[in-house]
Each structure stands twice: as C-alpha cells, then as structure tokens.
C-alpha cells in the first residue's frame, strides 16, 4: 500500500515498537523520523499510521537509487562480492468472496455487523478499505461520526483504530459538535488512556484549534495522570500547527503551548514531543521562542530534548545569540550527542560563518577535528545549502547517536 | 467474488430497502446479516472481473481497494496470465491496472523484465489512449533507470497526451522516488527534456526539477536551453540552473547574470532572479542590488529576494518558503 501523498513510503511497520522511542533527528537533522508514528497513542495497539512528511534530504533511500514503494530491496541494487542473490519472499493476498455485495449493501447502520469478520481477519488491505469505506459512509454527517465514536467505546482489536481513523479522515470531523465530542471523550477519565489517546489523535486533521481546545489539550499534556492521552494531545497540537503554518497562518499560539508542554510536562516523553515537534513545521523563532528553547537547551535533563532544542534554535532570527549560546553550552555539555547537535546546528544557523565557532569547539573537544575538516572542505567547494552539506558528509552519524536508543 | 446465493441476495435487497426507513436505533437492532465473506486466493481472472465490476461502483474507496489489491497481489499472480491479460487488453483503464501490476512485479523484485514489457507497449501500442495509460502505470517507479532510455522516445510521441504523461512521470520520479539524489536518474531526465521538441514537455521537466546531482554534461544541456525561442523553456532552464551542483555553480551564475540584461520576458527574468538567489544565498545580494536598475519594474521582486536572503537562512527550501510566505502576506 502506498500513501497518496509524497514521498513513497514503505508499508507501515506493524506493532508499536517505533512509537515509544524518542523520535530521532535524521539525515540533515531537519526532521525526526516520524513516519512510524501511529494514529493511536504511544502505547496503543493500532497499526494504522499517519505518516508525517519525511524530508527528502533525510531520506535514506535517496542516496542509493529508487525508494521502492513497497520497501523491498531495489532490483537494481548491486550485490556485495560473494553475496548470493536471494529470491524475494512474497506473502499472498486475500480475495474475499462476496466483497462486491458487501460494498454495494453496506451502510452506516449495518457496517459494524457486516464488517466484523473482515476486521477480525489479518488482512491489512481489507482493513484499509473498510476504513476508507467507513469514511465515505460518515461523509459530512455529524450524527454518523458521533455514532461511530460511540462504537469506539467498546470496540475490540483492530476495529477501534479503523473506526477512529475513519472519523479522523471524514468531512464530518470538521463539524464543531464532532470535534467537541472527540475532545470531551478524550478527557473522559472513565475511558482507558489508550482509547482517549486514539480519540484525541482523531483531532489531528482539524484545520485549526480554537483557543479553548488548545488550552484543554495543553492541560491534558501537562497532567501527569494523562499518560498516553497526554502524549496524543501534544502531538495533535503539533500536527494541526503544521497544517496552519502551511496555510501561512500565525502559529504563535501553538508554539506557545508546545513550549509550555516542552518545559512543564512531568512526563519526559510528552515533554519531548513539545520540544521536538516544532521542527516539523520549522518556523523561524521569535525572540521569546528563542529564549524559551534556550532554557530547554541548558535545563532539560533528557539529552534528546536538548538535541531538539538545538535543532529548533538553528532557525532563530537572532543568529548571533544562538551561536554564542551554542559555543557556551558546548563548554559544559556532557553528552557527546548533544555536543554533536550543537556543532552541526551551528552550521545550520550561520553556514560557513559558523566555522570559527565550530573550530573553537574542536579545541575544546578534539574528537570533532575530523568532522570539522569535512565541513570546512565542503564549504570550500562552494556548497551553500546545509541539507546538501549534510548529505555530502562522509559520515552523517560520526558519534553513533542515531542508534543510541535501539 | 461472485454471488453464490439467491437467498442472500434477497436478504440483502430487503435490508437495503428497509434501512433508510428505519430509525438508527431500530436499525441497529435488526441489521440483516451481511454477505458471507470467505477469504481465498486471488487470481488474475477473478481480480480483473472484480475491477471491471468495481468500476461501476460509486465508492472511490472500493475502486482504490481493487486497484491496490491487484497491485499487491501482482508478485504472487501467474506471470504468464498477467502478461497475456495485459497484451490483449484494449480498454485504457484496464490496461493501466494490468500494466501497474506488471510494473509492481519488477518494483518488488519478482520479475526484473516485467517493466520492460510495459515500456515496450508504451512505445509500440497504436491506440494513443492506451499508450498514455501505460505510461501512467510507470509513474513513481524506477522506470527512468530500468527502461533503457524509453523516456527520450516517449517525449517525442506523436500524441501530446502521451508526451505530457511522460513528462509528469519524470517530474514525479525525480521528486518522489529519487528525491533529486540519484545522478543517473537526474541525467536521464535532463536528456529527455533536451530531446523533446515539445516546449511544454521540456519546460515541465526542467521547471520543477532538482538538479543537485546532475553531471557537467547535463548542466551544459540546460545552459543551451537558455537560448530557446520559447520563453517557458528559458524560464524552466533558468530555474533548473539555480540548483546545480557546487562545481557547476560558477558557470551557471555567469550564464544567468549575463542573460538577465538581454532577456525581455518578465517571467523569465523573475526565474533568473530566483536562480541568482539560489546560486548565491546571502552572497547574491550585491549582484541583485546591481540588477535593480536594469528593469525597474522588477525592483519590488528584487527587494523581496533581498529581504528574504538577509534572513541568512542556510537551506534553499526555507529561503523559498519564506519568499512565498512574504508574497502571501496581504
């Protein structure tokens, strides 16, 4: 299955293993690897995924030829000496007898009963179809959406994710009563946190979040008992923010809330979302936002959070302040991976004019000598773009930071 | 997937008749049983029947499912049956589905030759609608590399529709499959753009192409296109030159700067300004300032570039984004 929107993605990885991992900065350090983040919250059981857009320059396949739509090895990929070509293994698909009659006769009223045997099967293709078909059946009718949300209260197995994904992708989700009910149910403490996370995630296709909704989501994210629901609330804020930013709208209220979560949530993973998710929209930082990320850079206990802060700070309007901050922080930072972030994001802040700052970092920590020479050489060749520079590095992960969480 | 029981059909029809008449709550209590859904193996014939019938459905979800199911089934379907079905199919829609299935066999590593059979028909088929459909099936695949220069021929197809479909493939392949990072694919795209005698095709390919990995030879071909009689081609060539690799940048900068003074078309001049900005980032500001007097009508455009370049952003995508945001401000 491929998503309709670019770039071509591999089929969603099953399971939840990719979800709780801190989301790492990839490739050019532009965007974290969010492709495997599921709709359902971090501890959820759904496997439907709403892939975030991946940066082209950070796309591993890009350097090695075509990225296959299905995630299998490129047929043109050369074999290493002595390596024998293995015949690829393909799993059979399932063709359902009477699926045409199902499609012709299914309605919002009989969907749950009719779809049950298909939802209980292990056929991911038919599940995707059921999700899309249910989205069609909901249409723009808020009552249909509300009915499907009620089904989700006690939905078992895969059906929970299918129901909520269908609501999420429907036109009706933009009706005020649907969005409000999703938020209400997401805050309903009588529901398991994992279900509340799914309900809140269904809000992430909203065109915008009103101040009241933003406030409620932020409160959830900062509440220590929210667990998965708080995580989903933070991510929903960030995803709607990204959409608003693409529409050229002001995202200051969203950034304010994410930075509040990034500074205040007692849950390290939720806090990290607040710190990391802004890099997807990549906004230029105002003086106040710069100040708040600077506090995270020097005060956050989680090194991933400090890394994310450096990443975001590289897009501050105040480049001089950021370079000074990076230089000063490098002196006392204990984590080699955060130091590597300070080093490379200095270049993303000011290009080759950051080289003196980076050279000074080398004098403080000679482990950066070799990589500094790479930066210097690539800039001398005339390269200007940080993405190109990063992708030209002989080793983009010189300190093995990308797999530190494996 | 064929009907097996007249009893079930009647039940279904009864349910369909009753459903709209019943209130939701009542309907939830008396839902008629659905069709018996038995999973089984897929076959070329069965899938083709389903797709033909599915095309009549009002549900886009169902049509998408059928298309996906055929493509996902392709590696395990009978190769000979699939090829035979493709060869004899004359309906453009069905031919496109079958071609996509054959292409999927190559893309998954099941059959390296299958995509070549599709490319061959894209060149040799007599019906231009089927040729266009077959070309579409090659979109977002490795065809730029794996079909032996087929695009250089497709961009010369007598049918404008086929030429445009080929150009769309090239644009989307470079952007979505290769992310502009694969030199041989980028060079194949430039060769196709240069080989075409249809200015719309050349402009479409070059106008949005990431040229960061092209060879010196390809850069030279694009520079030659700066002299085209067609303004859209000149504009596209100017934009393409903005993104060339570091070693080609000095030559490209020289070409676009020299061209700016004599260019008469405002759209081409705007593209040249963008190219100058991309080739110099913040360092382009002095050059841009010098060009303000050449064409006063473009001074606001130059000022917009200067304003954005002064932000000193280090990524072209961010610079371009901020320029677009600046221009969208009411």
Q: What is the pLDDT of residues B107-132, one digit of tens each?
A: 999 999 999 999 999 999 999 999 99
pLDDT class for A80, splitting at 50, 70, 90? very low
Q: Which of A396, A383, A382 is nearest to A343 (CA)?
A: A396
Question: Is residue A36 reached through a cis peptide bond, with omega within 30 degrees of 0 on the bond before it?
Answer: no
- φ, ψ at A45 (rounded to 5°): -110, -5
Within its chain, how far is the Cα of B317 from the centroid? 20
Answer whether residue A17 shows pLDDT above 70: no
**ipTM score over 0.95, yes or no:** no
Q: Do B179 and A383 touch (CB under 8 A)?
A: no
pLDDT class for A87, splitting at 50, 70, 90? low
Chain B nearest CA to A232, separation (Å): 27
Distance of alpha carbon A262 from alpha carbon A294, whole angstroms = 12
Least confident of A87-96, A235-244, B307-316: A87-96
A residues 345..404 contacting B (CB < 8 A): 347-351, 381-388, 391
Chain B residue numbers with beta carbons less than 8 Å from the beta carbon of A315 are 313, 318
Nearest CB partner across the interface for B57, out of A103, A384, A391? A103
Q: Which residue has the higher pLDDT, A405 or A240?
A: A240
Chain B nearest CA to A9, separation (Å): 10
pTM: 0.84
Residue of B nearest to A89 (CA): B110
Range B226-250 average pLDDT: 98
Question: To which residue do tokens 């080609």 refer?
Answer: B248
Chain A residue numbers with beta carbons less than 8 Å from the beta carbon of B146 are 75-76
Range A33-62 average pLDDT: 34
Distance of alpha carbon B87 from alpha carbon B118, whole angstroms = 9
Residues contacting residue A247 through CB under 8 Å, at least 6 positions apart:
A207
pLDDT tens for A169-183 read 999 999 999 999 999
Instruction: State chain A's mean pLDDT as an integer.
Output: 83
pLDDT tens for A139-158 read 999 999 999 999 999 999 99
On whether the CB atoms of residues A103 and B62 are closer than 8 A, the answer is: yes
Chain B residue numbers with beta carbons less than 8 Å from the beta carbon of A121 are 39
Q: What is the pLDDT at residue A263? A: 97
Residues contacting residue A351 through CB under 8 Å, at least 6 positions apart:
A379, A384, A386, B281, B282, B312, B314
Q: What is the pLDDT at residue A39? A: 39
Q: What is the pLDDT at residue A274? A: 97
Q: Do A7 and B8 touch (CB under 8 A)?
A: no
Q: Give, in order, the Cα–Cα distances in Å from A149 to each of A136, A157, A164, A198.
A: 15, 15, 7, 11
Residues contacting residue B71 through CB under 8 Å, at least 6 positions apart:
B100, B101, B104
Question: To which residue do tokens 């001398």 refer?
Answer: A380
Beta bridge partners of A285: A316
The structure tokens listed for B45 are: 């014939």
3-state secondary structure of B245: coil
Least confident of A60-64, A195-199, A238-242, B156-160: A60-64
On whether the CB atoms of residues A19 and A37 are closer than 8 A, the answer is: yes
Q: What is the pLDDT at residue B291? A: 96
Q: What is the pLDDT at residue B327? A: 86
Chain A nearest CA to B25, separation (Å): 9
Q: Which helix (H) or strand (E) holds A96?
A: strand A95-97
What is the dihedral sign for C-alpha A26, A32, A34, A35? negative
Nearest CB partner across the interface for B328, out of A72, A103, A248? A248
Distance of alpha carbon A50 from alpha carbon B289, whole angstroms = 45
Q: What is the pLDDT at residue B31? A: 83
- Rg over alpha carbons for chain A, rounded to the nearest Å, is 23
Q: What is the pLDDT at residue B146? A: 84
Beta bridge partners of A49: A38
Q: Which of B328, B274, B329, B330 is nearest to B306 (CA)?
A: B274
Query: If 0-12 CB within 10 Å is exposed, 13-18 middle and 19+ buried, where does residue B291 land?
Result: buried
Q: Do A351 and B314 touch (CB under 8 A)?
A: yes
Least confident of A9-18, A267-276, B25-34, B289-298: A9-18
Does the CB of B304 have a partner CB in chain A at under 8 Å?
no
Answer whether residue B29 shows pLDDT above 80: no
Taking each helix axis as running N to C, give the angle between helix B60-73 and helix A124-138, from 0 to 180 degrees, rounded to the nearest 10: 170
On whether the CB atoms of residues A28 and A58 are closer than 8 A, the answer is: yes
A residues 124..143 contacting B (CB < 8 A): 125-126, 128-129, 132-133, 135-136, 143
- When scoring A62, A64, A88, A109 by the number of chain B Cβ atoms within 10 A, the one with the most, hence best to mutate, is A109
DSSP-assigned letters across all residues of A44-92: -----B-PPPPPGGG-GGGGGS---TTSPPPTTPPPPTTPPPPPPP-PP
pLDDT tens for A201-214 read 999 999 999 999 99
Answer whether residue A373 shows pLDDT above 60: yes
Instruction: State chain B's mean pLDDT as an integer.
Output: 91
Q: What is the pLDDT at residue B329? A: 65
pLDDT class for B145, splitting at 50, 70, 90? confident
pLDDT class for A405, splitting at 50, 70, 90? low
Distance of alpha carbon A316 from alpha carbon A338, whole angstroms = 18
Distance of alpha carbon A132 from alpha carbon B32, whole angstroms = 22
The structure tokens listed for A92 are: 């059979």
Q: What single DSSP character describes residue B239?
A: H
Q: What is the pLDDT at residue B53? A: 92
Distance of alpha carbon A9 from alpha carbon A233, whole angstroms = 25
pLDDT tens for B246-304 read 999 999 999 999 999 999 999 999 999 999 999 999 999 999 999 999 999 999 999 99
Answer whether residue A44 shows pLDDT above 80: no
Q: What is the count of residue pairs from A and B with beta carbons less than 8 Å apart?
A: 248
Does the CB of B168 have a partner CB in chain A at under 8 Å?
no
Q: Which of A214, A213, A325 is nearest to A259 (CA)?
A: A214
pLDDT class for B32, splitting at 50, 70, 90? confident
Q: Which residue has the higher pLDDT, B25 or A240?
A: A240
B residues 60..99 contacting A (CB < 8 A): 60-62, 64-65, 68-69, 72-73, 75-76
Q: What is the pLDDT at residue A13? A: 28
Residues contacting residue B153 through CB under 8 Å, at least 6 positions apart:
B123
Range A340-351 average pLDDT: 98
Report helix, strand and coil shares of chain B as percent, to nearest 5. Answer: 70, 0, 25
* Other CB atoms within 10 A of residue A278 CB: 28
Answer whether residue B18 shows pLDDT above 90: no
Answer whether residue A75 shows pLDDT above 50: no
């Amino acid at each position: 299955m491929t998503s309709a929107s670019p770039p071509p993605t591999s089929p969603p990885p099953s399971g939840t293993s990719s979800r709780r991992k801190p989301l790492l900065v990839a490739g050019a350090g532009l965007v974290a690897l969010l492709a495997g983040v599921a709709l359902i919250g971090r501890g959820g059981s759904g496997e439907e995924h709403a892939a975030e857009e991946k940066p082209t320059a950070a796309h591993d396949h890009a350097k090695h030829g075509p990225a296959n739509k299905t995630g299998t090895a490129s047929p043109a990929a050369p074999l290493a000496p002595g390596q024998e070509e293995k015949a690829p293994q393909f799993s059979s698909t399932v063709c359902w007898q009477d699926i045409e009659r199902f499609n012709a006769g299914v309605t919002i009223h009989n969907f749950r009963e009719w779809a049950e045997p298909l939802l209980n099967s292990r056929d991911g293709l038919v599940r995707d179809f059921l999700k899309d078909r249910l989205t069609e059946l909901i249409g723009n009718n808020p009552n249909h959406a509300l009915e499907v949300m009620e089904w989700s209260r006690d939905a078992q197995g895969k059906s929970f994710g299918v129901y909520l994904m269908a609501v999420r992708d429907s036109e009706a989700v933009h009706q005020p009563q649907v969005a409000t009910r999703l938020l209400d149910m997401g805050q309903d403490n009588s529901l398991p946190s994992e279900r509340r996370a799914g309900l809140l995630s269904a809000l992430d296709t909203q065109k915008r979040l009103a101040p009241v909704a933003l406030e409620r989501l932020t409160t959830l994210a900062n509440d220590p008992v929210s667990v998965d629901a708080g995580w989903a609330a933070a991510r929903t804020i960030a995803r709607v923010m990204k959409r608003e930013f693409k529409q050229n709208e002001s995202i200051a209220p969203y950034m304010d809330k994410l930075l509040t979560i990034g500074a205040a949530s007692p849950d390290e993973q939720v806090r990290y979302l607040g710190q990391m998710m802004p890099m997807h929209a990549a906004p230029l930082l105002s003086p106040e936002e710069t100040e708040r990320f600077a506090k995270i850079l020097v005060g956050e206990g989680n090194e991933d959070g400090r890394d994310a802060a450096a990443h975001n700070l590289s897009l501050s309007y105040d480049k001089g302040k950021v370079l000074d901050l990076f230089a000063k922080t490098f002196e006392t930072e204990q984590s080699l991976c955060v130091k590597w972030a300070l080093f490379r994001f200095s270049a993303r802040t000011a290009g080759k004019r950051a080289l003196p700052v980076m050279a000074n970092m080398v004098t403080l920590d000679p482990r950066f000598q070799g990589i500094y020479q790479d930066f210097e050489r690539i800039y001398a060749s005339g390269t200007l773009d940080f993405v190109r520079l990063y992708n030209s590095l002989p080793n983009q992960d010189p300190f093995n930071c990308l797999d530190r969480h494996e | 997937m064929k009907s097996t029981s007249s009893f079930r059909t009647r039940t279904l029809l009864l349910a369909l008749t009753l459903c709209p008449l019943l209130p939701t709550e009542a309907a939830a209590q008396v839902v008629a049983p659905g069709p018996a859904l038995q999973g089984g193996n897929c076959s070329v014939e069965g899938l083709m029947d389903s797709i033909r019938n599915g095309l009549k459905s009002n549900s886009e979800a169902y049509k998408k499912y059928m298309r996906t199911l055929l493509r996902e089934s392709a590696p395990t379907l009978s190769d000979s049956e699939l090829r035979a079905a493709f060869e004899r199919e004359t309906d453009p829609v069905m031919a496109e589905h079958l071609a996509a299935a054959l292409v999927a066999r190559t893309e998954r590593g099941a059959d390296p030759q299958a995509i070549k059979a599709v490319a061959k028909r894209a060149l040799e088929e007599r019906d231009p609608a089927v040729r266009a459909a077959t070309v579409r099936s090659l979109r977002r695949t490795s065809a730029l590399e794996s079909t032996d220069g087929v695009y250089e021929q497709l961009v010369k197809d007598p049918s404008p529709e086929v030429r445009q479909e080929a150009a769309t493939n090239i644009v989307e392949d470079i952007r979505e499959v290769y992310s502009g990072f694969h030199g041989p694919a980028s060079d194949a795209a430039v060769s196709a753009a240069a080989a075409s005698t249809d200015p719309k095709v050349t402009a479409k390919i070059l106008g949005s192409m990431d040229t960061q990995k092209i060879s010196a030879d390809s850069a030279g071909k694009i520079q030659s296109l700066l002299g085209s009689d067609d303004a859209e081609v000149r504009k596209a060539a100017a934009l393409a030159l903005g993104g060339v690799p570091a070693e080609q940048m000095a030559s490209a900068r020289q070409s676009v700067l020299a061209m700016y003074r004599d260019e008469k078309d405002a759209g081409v001049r705007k593209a040249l300004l963008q190219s100058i900005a991309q080739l110099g980032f913040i360092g382009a500001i002095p050059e841009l300032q010098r060009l303000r007097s050449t064409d006063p009508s473009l001074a606001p455009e130059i000022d917009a570039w200067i304003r954005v370049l002064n932000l000193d952003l280090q990524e072209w995508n961010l610079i371009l984004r901020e320029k677009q945001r600046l221009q969208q401000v009411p």
